[in-house]
Amino acid sequence: MIDLKFLRDNPDIVRDSQRARGEDPNLVDQLIAADEVRRTSIQAADELRAEQKAFGKKIGQAAPEDRPALLEGSNELKERVKAAEAAREEAEEQVRRLQYSLPNVVEGAPAGGEEDFVVLEHVGEVPEFDFEVKDHLDLGEALGIIDVKRGTKVGGARFYYLVGDGAWMQLGMLMLAAQKAREAGFTVMVPPVLVRPEIMQGTGFLDQHDEEIYYLERDDLYLVGTSEVALAGYHRDEIIDLSDGPILYAGWSSCFRREAGSYGKDTKGILRVHQFDKLEMFVYCEPQQAKEMHQKLLGLEREMLDAIQVPYRIIDIAAGDLGSSAARKFDTEAWVPSQNTYRELTSTSNCTTFQGRRLATRYRDAEGKTQPVATLNGTLATTRWLVAILENNQNADGSVTVPEALRPWVGKEVLVP
């Protein structure tokens, strides 16, 4: 949720942000106008309440013979106060509706849409094979570690089983991420995967991504697409202590996405699926610390990608491809040999105070005043990493070399068909 004072003081910045996202800048003017109506209605209601209070004292001090006439005037004033309160509530609801429809203000992201990202860096060398490259599903089926056919039989399209060494590879990857997170000062958590509507709304996921979310109508609960949602809701309606620095959490959970609108895209294998596991970093900090923490999250993602030995690139996501809550986002994309392109493995977003305002999560500043916290998130490991690991480490005979960092969990140096 955008800060109304910032909006009033910097309308051109917010309009430019809307244009960079490809959104309607007129929404800014609508919100400014609605906010002016709200402020006027609050003042009018306050003045009438003060008048009503003074009138009540006048009645109490009046002579008995004068009170009937005064009481008649009091009833009229009471109705005016009631009408003013109703107008104030209506004006506040209009402001709230418009605030919730306005995305976060972009900070430094390039303008444009999905294809307008900026490549910041390439890391590692793209492998060259002197044999015909297999994709991850062909490799996984031959190795007996991925079973999509039975996953489809049991759960439908885009479901799968990870079997034996495939399960151990994922568990090892997530354990490695959890260890790295703990060493970096994060508290590891296993959060709920079902959340209430107000938590999903508070993180911004119902604004643009509601078609991606599984909703359990009978229970009025949502399945999370990332543990970011539950971690963001952990301190809802709280004043948290940031005197010792940012609060760092790492949530390990299963995640669920409907993949609405993606029919025909990445249907083979486990690149785009309905259920997957993920370790997500989440940060609460003071707003002035957010940019530094964003780089810290990106640095940890780098460490994990280096550990699993895949070539990757870092991109600065364009404003039009940001979620509504993110002010800036960096993705890391690993090279996928069978597709001859890079595909997303991680993302890390700086949400500034957008989620903190929505979820009423605050801290006390140096003067003791409560202020909304800044929040950030970043992926440290997830199921789709197996795609890049298998394809980049494949051998001519169909075997796959296990990255050294994962061998303690997998128990093997090479997976053999």
Measure the CA–CA gap between 197 and 105, rounded to whole angstroms. Answer: 24
User: From its phi and psi, is residue 259 left (phi > 0), alpha (psi between -120 and 50) or beta?
Assistant: left
Backbone angles phi, psi at 273, to 5 degrees: -130, 170
- Tens digit of each residue's pLDDT, the chain (417 residues): 889 999 999 999 999 999 999 999 999 999 999 999 999 999 888 887 787 776 565 555 555 655 555 555 566 767 777 888 888 899 989 998 999 999 999 999 999 999 999 999 999 999 999 999 999 999 999 999 999 999 999 999 999 999 999 999 999 999 999 999 999 999 999 999 999 999 999 998 886 567 889 999 999 999 999 999 999 999 999 999 999 999 999 999 999 999 876 666 677 899 999 999 999 999 999 999 999 999 999 999 999 999 999 999 999 999 999 999 999 999 999 999 999 999 999 999 999 999 999 999 999 999 999 999 999 999 999 999 999 999 999 999 999 999 999 999 999 999 999
User: What contacts 132, CB < 8 A, 6 or more positions away?
Assistant: none
The answer to the question of whether 301 is labelled as a binding residue is: no
Task: Sketch out the chain's domains with CATH numbers.
Answer: 4-101 (1.10.287.40), 118-415 (3.30.930.10)
Task: Identify whether the C-beta of residue 309 lies closer than 8 Å to the C-beta of residue 123.
Answer: no
The answer to the question of whether 401 is labelled as a binding residue is: no
Interstrand relation of 312-316 and 146-147 (parallel, antiparallel or unpaired): unpaired
Q: Which two structure tokens, joined as six digits, stand for 356? A: 């903190």
Measure the CA–CA gap between 38 and 95, rounded to whole angstroms. Answer: 7
The answer to the question of whether 226 is labelled as a binding residue is: yes
Query: Measuring CA to CA, which residue among 162, 189, 163 is closest to residue 178?
Result: 189
Task: Identify whether the C-beta of residue 215 lies closer than 8 Å to the C-beta of residue 240.
Answer: no
Measure the CA–CA gap between 93 and 91, rounded to whole angstroms. Answer: 5
Cα atoms in the 13 Å half-sphere on the side-chain side of 58: 13
Measure the CA–CA gap between 9 and 7, rounded to whole angstroms. Answer: 6
The answer to the question of whether 216 is labelled as a binding residue is: no
Annotated catalytic sites, by residue? Answer: 257, 272, 344, 347, 384
Please give the model's pTM, rounded to 2 decimal places: 0.90
